[in-house]
Structure 1
Amino acid sequence: MDSSQPAIKPYTPDESGFWRITLALMLASLLVFSTLYVFQPLLPIFVNEFQVSATESSFLMSAAVIAMVVGLFILGFAADRYGRLRLMQLSLGVTVLLLAAMPFTSSFEWLVVLRLLQGFFLAGIPAAAMGYLGEEVDPNHLGLAMTLYISSNALGGMGGRVAGGYLTDVFDWEKTLFILSAFGVAAALLFLLLLPSERYFTKGDQPLREDFRGMLVHLKDRYMLVLFLMGLLLQIVFTAIWTYIPFHLQSDPYQWPLKWISFTYFAYVLGVLAPPLAGRLSNHFGLTKVMFSGLFILIAGAGFTALQPVSWIMAGLGVLCSGFFIAHSMAAALVSKSADHHRSGASSFYLISYYVGVAVGSTAVGTLWETWGWPGVISTALVFILIIISLPVFKRNSGGGEEV
C-alpha cells in the first residue's frame, strides 16, 4: 500500500464489510459446490439415458475433480499475480454459462468435455477466496470468516446432492440443471454487488518465472507441507466413509433402498453448523486447539459408524461431518494465516492435496471394502486420523511462536 494513503485496517465483525465479504463468498461457495456434486446422485440416470457403464458415468464427477485440481494450481498462481476479485468473477460467470449449456448436449462425450472445462473454472473460487480472506479480514477474526465460508462448502455439497436427486425425480436432469443455472445467475449477481474491492492486493511486477518460484516456496516449508498432508488425509477419511456407507447400508442386515440412503446426506447439516461455532471458539482458544478438538470428534463419529445399530450409524455420520468440517476449516485458516506471500498459491496447494484425497478415498479404498468390508474401511480411517493427530502442526504459528 502507498504510505501517503490513510491507514486502512482489515475488516472485523463490527463492520458491514466483513459480513458483505462473508455473504458473497458463501453464495459463491454454495454455487461452486452444488454444481460440483449435483451430478453424483444422477449417475444412474446417465447410465440409462446414454447407454454407458456405471464406471463411465462416473467420469462426470472425476473429470470435474481432476480439472479442478489443475485449476487450483494454475488459477491460484494467477490470483496471486493478477488479482483475486476479477478471477472469482470470471470463475462464476463461466461456471453458470457451462451449466446452462449442458442440457443442450446430445452426447455423453460432450457432457464430459463440458464438465472438464467447468471443473477448471470451478477452482477459481476456492483458489482465490482463502487468499482474499487472509488479506482483507483481521487475523483475529479470520477463523470466524473462514469457518462460515467452509460451512457453505458443506451446505453446497449437501444441497447439490439432495436437490439434484429430488428435482430430477420430479422433472428430469435437464430441468434440474436449468434450475441450478438460475440460482447461479442470482448468486453471481449478488456476488458482484456484495464483495468489496481488494484493498491490500498488490499486483506482482516480478518476472513470471521468479513469481512462480515464489509460489513454490510453500512446498519447501515443512509447516505448510504438514498442513497440506493433513488436508490429504482428512479428505481420504471423509470420502472413504461417505463413498462406501451406501454399500454398507445396502448389504445385510440393513438392505436399505437408495431413497433411504440419500437421506443420510442430511448429516451435512451438522457440518454446516459446526464450523461457525468453531470459528468463534478459535478466537478464544486458537486455531490449532480447536482443530485438534475437531479431530477427536472425527474419531468418535467414525467409531460410531462401526457399531451395528442403525441409530448409532446415523449419529456417527452427523458427528463425523461436524468433526471433519471443524478440522478442515481450522487447517484452511492456518494455511491462509501462516502464508505471508502468495496466499492464494498456499491455499491452492492445500486444496490440491484435499481433492487428491477425494480420488484416493473414493477409489483406492475400494480394495479394502471388497476384501474386509466395512470394518476394513473404518479401521483404515481411524489409523489415518491418528496419523493426523501425530503431525507436528503445533510447532509454529504465523507469528513464529508456538500455538498449542
Structure 2
Amino acid sequence: MHTEASLITRGTPAFRRTNLALFAAGFSTFALLYCVQPLMPLFSAEFGLGAAASSLSLSVTTGLLAVAMLVASSLSEALGRKPVMVASLLASAALTIAAAFVPGWHGLLLVRTLEGVALSGLPAVAMAYVGEEMEKGSIGLAMGLYIGGSAVGGMGGRLISGILADFFSWRVAIGALGLVCLLAALAFWKSLPPSRNFRPRPLALGNLLARFVEHCRDEGLPWLFLEGFLLMGSFVTLYNYVGYRLLAPPYELGQTAVGSIFAVYLIGIFSSAWVGNLASRLGRRRVLWAVILLQLAGLGLTLATPLPLVIAGIAVFTFGFFGAHSIVSSWVGLRALEGKAQASSLYLFFYYLGSSLVGSAGGLFWTAFGWPGLAALLAALLATALLVAFRLAALAPLPQNRPKTT
C-alpha cells in the first residue's frame, strides 16, 4: 500500500518532471505511429503498390500494437513500469531510424510490424504508472498532459514527415523523425521519477488470464472499455472521411488545405489537460456526459454547408473527444486498484479496435449515403456513448474496504 507522502502532487518538482516525461512519451509514441500516413502515396510510387497495400505500413503497426499491449502491460507488472516504458521508446525510435535504410517494401513492413510490438510497452503502462504514482487530485491533469503530448505527436508526426518528404525523401523524413523521438525517449528516461508505489508480481499466464476476467467482471470497467471503443471509433471515422467531403464540390479544396485540418489536433492539447483537471475537481461523473454532448454539437455543425461552420464543427468535435478520452482513460486507472496495467491495456485494446472496425464501416456509410449518412452513424455511436456515461455516473460507490477513487 502506498502512503499519501509517497504520491506525486501538483506543484512539486517531481510533478513537473513527470509531466515533461509524459508529454515527451505521448509525442514520441504517436509521432512514430502515424508518421507514415502522408507517405503512403510515395510508397505506392516507389514500390509499385496500390493504395490498400501501401496502407499496410500503418495497419500492421496499429494491429500489432493493440494485441501486444495485452502482453506488455503484464510484463510491466513483473519488470517495473519505468524500465518497460524506457525500453519501448528507445526501441521504437531505433526501429524508425532503421526503417529509413531498409532496401525493400517487405523489409519496411517487417520493421513497422516490430515497431508495433515495441510501441506496445508505452500506452497502457503509462496509464498504470499515473494511477499508481499520482495523488488522486493530480491524476486528471497528468493524464491530460500525456494525451496532449499524444495529440501533438499525432499531428506533428504527419506534418514533419510530409514536409521533409516534400523537400528531400521519405527516407530522410522517417530517419529525421526517428532521431527526434530518440531525443524524446532520452528526455523521458532522465525526467520520469522511478516508481515508489509499484510492487512487482511474478509473470504467470494463469494469473494474467484471471486478472483479465476479474476486470471484465467489475461493475464499471467494462463500461469504460465500451466507452473507449465508441469514442475512438467515432473520432477516427470523422477524420477518415471528412477529407473526401472537402475535396468534392462545393468546396473542392486542395490536398494541402485538407491536410492542414490536422492542425485542430492542437485543440486536443488544451482540451485534454483542461477537461482532465476540471474532472478531477468536479468529478468524472459530472463532466463526461457534458463533453460527449459537445461532440454531438460539433457533429451537428459539420452538417452545415458553409466551410467555416464545418471547420468549427470539427474543432468542437475534437475538443470534446480529447476531453472525454482524458476522463475515461484516467478513470480506468482509478477504478482498477489491482492489475492497473492489464486494465489499461484492455481499455486501449477496445479503443484501437473501435478505430479499426468503425473506421472501416464508416466507409460504407460514406459511399452509400454521403456525409448525412456518415453523420447519422456517428450520432448513433455518440448517443450510445452518452448512455454509457450516464450508466457510469450511476455506479454505486466503491466498498468501504477499498479507497474511494471515483
Q: TM exceeds 0.5?
A: yes
Instruction: Report the equivalent of 1:36.
Output: 33
Query: Contact 2:224 / 2:347 at 8 angstroms: preserved in 1?
Result: yes
Instruction: Report the equivalent of 1:84.
Output: 81
Instruction: Report the equivalent of 1:396.
Output: 395
Instruction: Report the equivalent of 1:70.
Output: 67
Task: Please list, as runs of the form range in 1=range in 2, the aligned pairs for 1:94-109 lying within 5 A after superposition.
Answer: 94-109=91-106
- Following superposition, the deviation at residue 403 of structure 1 comes to 9.6
Q: Distance in 1 between matches of 2:204 and 2:234?
A: 40
- Larger deviation: 209-218 or 139-148? 209-218
In structure 2, what residue type is equivalent to 1:317?
I
Instruction: Report the equivalent of 1:123.
Output: 120
Instruction: Report the equivalent of 1:57.
Output: 54
Q: Give the number of equivalent residue pairs.
A: 401
Secondary structure class of the residue paired with 2:100: helix
In structure 2, what residue type is equivalent to 1:173?
W
Query: Contact 1:147 / 1:276 at 8 angstroms: preserved in 2?
Result: yes
- Larger deviation: 273-282 or 231-240? 273-282
Q: Distance in 2 between matches of 1:210 and 1:68?
A: 22
TM-score calculated relative to the size of structure 2:
0.95
Q: Distance in 2 between matches of 1:312 and 1:366?
A: 23
Q: Distance in 1 between matches of 2:299 and 2:22?
A: 30
Q: Distance in 2 between matches of 1:14 and 1:91?
A: 28
Task: Please list, as runs of the form range in 1=range in 2, the aligned pairs for 1:208-223 lying within 5 A after superposition.
Answer: 208-223=205-220
Query: Contact 1:89 / 1:188 at 8 angstroms: preserved in 2?
Result: yes
Query: Contact 2:94 / 2:182 at 8 angstroms: preserved in 1?
Result: no
Query: Contact 1:396 / 1:403 at 8 angstroms: preserved in 2?
Result: no
- Following superposition, the deviation at residue 296 of structure 1 comes to 1.1
In structure 2, what residue type is equivalent to 1:150?
I
Q: Distance in 2 between matches of 1:205 and 1:271?
A: 38
Aligned CA distance change for structure 1 residues 337 and 57 (closer, same or farther; 3 Å): same
Mark the runs of 5 or more structure 1 residues left unpaired by the alignment. none
Aligned CA distance change for structure 1 residues 403 and 121 (closer, same or farther; 3 Å): closer
- Following superposition, the deviation at residue 81 of structure 1 comes to 2.9
- Following superposition, the deviation at residue 95 of structure 1 comes to 0.4
Query: Contact 1:102 / 1:114 at 8 angstroms: preserved in 2?
Result: yes
- Following superposition, the deviation at residue 15 of structure 1 comes to 1.3
Aligned CA distance change for structure 1 residues 151 and 7 (closer, same or farther; 3 Å): closer
- Following superposition, the deviation at residue 398 of structure 1 comes to 7.1
Q: 2:192 aligns with which of 187, 192, 195?
A: 195
- Larger deviation: 344-353 or 215-224? 215-224
- Following superposition, the deviation at residue 14 of structure 1 comes to 2.2
| Pair 1:164-2:158 in alignment | no
| Pair 1:298-2:282 in alignment | no
Encode CA deviations 1:253-300: one digit per residue, 9 max, x unaligned: 111111110111111111111111112212321122222221011111
In structure 1, what residue type is equivalent to 2:172?
K
Secondary structure class of the residue paired with 1:104: coil
Instruction: Report the equivalent of 1:359.
Output: 356
Query: Contact 1:238 / 1:361 at 8 angstroms: preserved in 2?
Result: no
Q: Distance in 1 between matches of 2:250 and 2:204?
A: 63
Query: Contact 2:6 / 2:197 at 8 angstroms: preserved in 1?
Result: no
- Following superposition, the deviation at residue 82 of structure 1 comes to 2.5
Encode CA deviations 1:12-53: one digit per residue, 9 max, x unaligned: 112111111111011011011001111111111111111000
Query: Contact 1:286 / 1:403 at 8 angstroms: preserved in 2?
Result: no
Secondary structure class of the residue paired with 1:204: coil
| Pair 1:27-2:29 in alignment | no
Instruction: Report the equivalent of 2:268.
Output: 271
- Larger deviation: 206-215 or 41-50? 206-215
Q: Distance in 1 between matches of 2:283 and 2:29?
A: 29
Query: Contact 1:143 / 1:287 at 8 angstroms: preserved in 2?
Result: no
Aligned CA distance change for structure 1 residues 244 and 218 (closer, same or farther; 3 Å): same
Aligned CA distance change for structure 1 residues 134 and 204 (closer, same or farther; 3 Å): same
Aligned CA distance change for structure 1 residues 76 and 229 (closer, same or farther; 3 Å): same
Q: Distance in 2 between matches of 1:346 and 1:403?
A: 15
Query: Contact 1:127 / 1:344 at 8 angstroms: preserved in 2?
Result: yes
Mark the runs of 5 or more structure 2 residues left unpaired by the alignment. none
Instruction: Report the equivalent of 1:315.
Output: 312
Identity %: 31
Q: 1:236 aligns with which of 233, 238, 242?
A: 233
Cα RMSD over matched residues? Answer: 1.8
Encode CA deviations 1:188-231: one digit per residue, 9 max, x unaligned: 11111111111111111475422441243112224111100000
Query: Contact 1:68 / 1:120 at 8 angstroms: preserved in 2?
Result: yes
- Following superposition, the deviation at residue 11 of structure 1 comes to 0.7
Q: Distance in 2 between matches of 1:21 and 1:127?
A: 16
Encode CA deviations 1:291-321: one digit per residue, 9 max, x unaligned: 2221011111111111111101111111111
Q: Distance in 1 between matches of 2:397 and 2:38?
A: 41
Query: Contact 2:75 / 2:203 at 8 angstroms: preserved in 1?
Result: no
Q: Distance in 2 between matches of 1:159 and 1:342?
A: 33
| Pair 1:134-2:131 in alignment | yes
Secondary structure class of the residue paired with 2:174: helix
